[in-house]
Amino acid sequence: MDARLAAELAAHDGSDEAFVEAMFRQVLRRPVDSEAEARALSKLTAGTLSRATLIHELATSEESVRVRELDDAVALGLAARARRERIRWLQAFPGTDERVIEIPWVLSRLRATGRVLEVGYAFAETAYLAALLRSGVELVGVDLVTRDVVGMEAVEADVRQLPFPDGSFDQVLLVSTLEHVGADNTVYGLEAAGADDTRSEALRELKRVLRRDGRLLVTVPLGEPGDHGWFRQEDERGWNELFSHAGFFVEEIEAYELQDEGWRAAPAFRPEGVRYGERGPAASAVLCAELSPGRLRRLITPTGLAVTVRRRARPIRHRRAGQ
Ligand SMILES: C[S@@+](CC[C@H](N)C(=O)[O-])C[C@H]1O[C@@H](n2cnc3c(N)ncnc32)[C@H](O)[C@@H]1O
C-alpha cells in the first residue's frame, strides 16, 4: 500500500478514548484528567476538533514547555554519560529553574553500574527519576516520605540517620536537597523541623554510607547566604566549609548563574545581590560538586595524583540544553 495512505489510516486507528489517553501520555507525560478527556471526546465526536489539532494544542501548551525543558536536560545528561563525558559549561534558556543545569550535570556523572543512593527522591522531577530508573544502576531512594516507585528500593528515613551499614553505596546523589535538611519542610507536607543547622550531620552520615572510593554528587542553591525558612542558601565559601567540615574533598566543582541570556557557567561567581527567586522561578545560581570521602588515600596511590591533575585539566565543552 502507498506508505502515506497507510500512515493516514493509522492516525485514525483505535477509539478516540485510547487516542486522547495516548497523546496526553506521549506529549504531556501524564494520564489525561477527566475534565480534559470529556472536553476532547465531545469535540472529537462533534467534529469541532481533529486528532491533528489535539496533538498541536498539547504540543504548544504551556505545560509542554516544562516537559521539553526536562526531557532536553535528561537527554543531554544521559547521552554524555554514554560517551563518558562529564559535561561542563552547560547553557540553558532564561526563565527556567536550576533543574535544567543540575539534571544533566548529575546524569553525565552517574556511574555506569553499582549501588546508587538518591536522597530526596520523593519530590524529584519525574523525568529525572525515570532517567535514573532507565540508567541500569541499582537504585535506592531515601526520603522522609515514601513515593510509589517501581524498580527502586524506597526507604523512608532521615538522611541524618540512615538505616544502612557503612560503605553501602558507590555513589550518592543529593540534588537540591541538602539545603532543606533540618529546615521547615511543611512546604512538602512534612512537619516543621527545629531551627538548628544540621546539614553537616547529613553530610557526615552520607560519608559513612559511601564506600571509601565512592562519590557524592551534590547540587545546592548559590548566592547571598541566608536562612529562607524552608531552605538555607550559602555562597561558595559557605558550602565548601560544610563539605570539608564533614570530611569531604572537592573533586570537581562548577558554579552556574542565571543571567539575562540564560544559565551560564560562572567561574568567577560573586554572591553579592544574588538572591533566590529574583531572576527566575527558583534559584538565581547553583553550585554543582562531586565530593569524595578519601582524598589522602587516593593521592598516595601511584595513579591518584595523575587522576586529580587530569580531572582539573579537562577540555572545555560548550553545550546548550535543548539545542
Ligand atoms: C527540593 S525537594 C527534592 C529535590 C529532588 N531531589 C529533585 O531532584 O528535584 C527536597 C527533598 O528533600 C527531602 N528532605 C528534606 N529533609 C530531609 C531529610 N532530613 N531526610 C531526607 N529527606 C529530606 C524532602 O522531603 C524533599 O523530597
**Pair type for strands 169-175 and 115-119:** parallel
Which distant-in-sequence residues (6+ apart) come within 8 Å of 298 by Cβ? Answer: 213, 292, 304, 307, 308
CATH 3.40.50.150 segments of the chain: 84-320
Position 183 scores a pLDDT of 87
| Residue 14 pLDDT greater than 50, yes or no | yes
8 A C-beta contact, residue 98 and residue 70: no
Q: Give the C-alpha separation, 78 to 127, whole Å.
A: 12
Q: Give the C-alpha separation, 138 to 136, whole Å.
A: 7
Position 58 scores a pLDDT of 98
Side chain identity at 97, as an amino acid letter?
A: D
- What is the atom index within ligand 1 of the atom nearest the CA of 182? 19
Q: Which of 303, 273, 258, 290 has its CA nearest to residue 100?
A: 258
Position 318 scores a pLDDT of 41
Measured from the Cβ of residue 278, the count of other Cβ atoms closer than 10 Å reads 12
Quote the CATH superfamily of domain 84-320. Answer: Vaccinia Virus protein VP39 (3.40.50.150)
How do residues 54-100 score in pLDDT, each as one tens digit?
999 999 999 999 999 999 999 999 999 999 999 999 999 999 999 99
- Coil, strand, or helix at residue 173? strand
Q: Give the C-alpha separation, 164 to 167, whole Å.
A: 8
25 forms beta bridges with none
Which residue ranges have their beta carbon within 6 Å of ligand 1? 120, 122-125, 128, 143-145, 158-160, 175-177, 180-181, 185, 188, 190
How do residues 244-294 score in pLDDT, each as one tens digit?
999 999 999 999 999 999 999 999 999 999 999 999 999 999 999 999 997
- Taking the centre of ligand 1 as the mean of its atom positions, its distance from the CA of residue 311, in whole angstroms, is 29
How do residues 152-197 score in pLDDT, each as one tens digit?
999 999 999 999 999 999 999 999 999 999 987 777 666 655 556 6
Ligand 1 pocket mutation pick from 100, 123, 230 by most atoms within 8 angstroms of CB: 123
| Residue 299 pLDDT greater than 80, yes or no | no
- What is the atom index within ligand 1 of the atom nearest the CA of 190? 25
Position 191 scores a pLDDT of 66
161 forms beta bridges with 158
**Sole residue written with cell 598516595:** 300
- Residue 174 cell numbers, joined: 543529593
- Residue 11 cell numbers, joined: 492516525
Ligand 1 pocket mutation pick from 185, 205, 233 by most atoms within 8 angstroms of CB: 185
| Residue 312 pLDDT greater than 50, yes or no | no
| Residue 202 pLDDT greater than 60, yes or no | yes
Position 295 scores a pLDDT of 56
Position 208 scores a pLDDT of 98
Handedness of CA 43, 46, 48, 53 (dihedral sign): positive
How do residues 93-151 score in pLDDT, each as one tens digit?
999 999 999 999 999 999 999 999 999 999 999 999 999 999 999 999 999 999 999 99
Q: Which residue puts its alpha carbon closest to atom 5 of ligand 1?
A: 124
